Structure 1
């Protein structure tokens, strides 16, 4: 039992270490977009669809009770 826990913990720590290596290799950022650059993104349509879907799912689960 203890050997299994130690093995799982070791594997988890190894995977955590491997996934953190690319993060350390990132260079400095560019400081963001230049003044006057177009950065507008239409999120209203997607947000309203997600809200409607969540509402429908919530109502469905409430009706099943």
Structure 2
């Protein structure tokens, strides 16, 4: 009776370990999206101001 219990317990452990070892990983999820509203707007405004300054200076010369 004791050997039957040991065999049964070891069989259950082997089956669970096999399922864990052979498990396939899932597909990766979507990457986290980063907001682009604040910094990009400031860069665009600074670029526009710089271009306006250059064009204004070029017209006066």
TM-score by length of 2: 0.43
User: Comparing both chains, which one has the higher relative contact order based on Cα–Cα distances under 8 Å and sequence gaps of 6 or more?
Assistant: 1
Write 1 or 2 for the structure with the bigger share of helix.
Answer: 2
Radius of gyration: which is bigger? Answer: 2
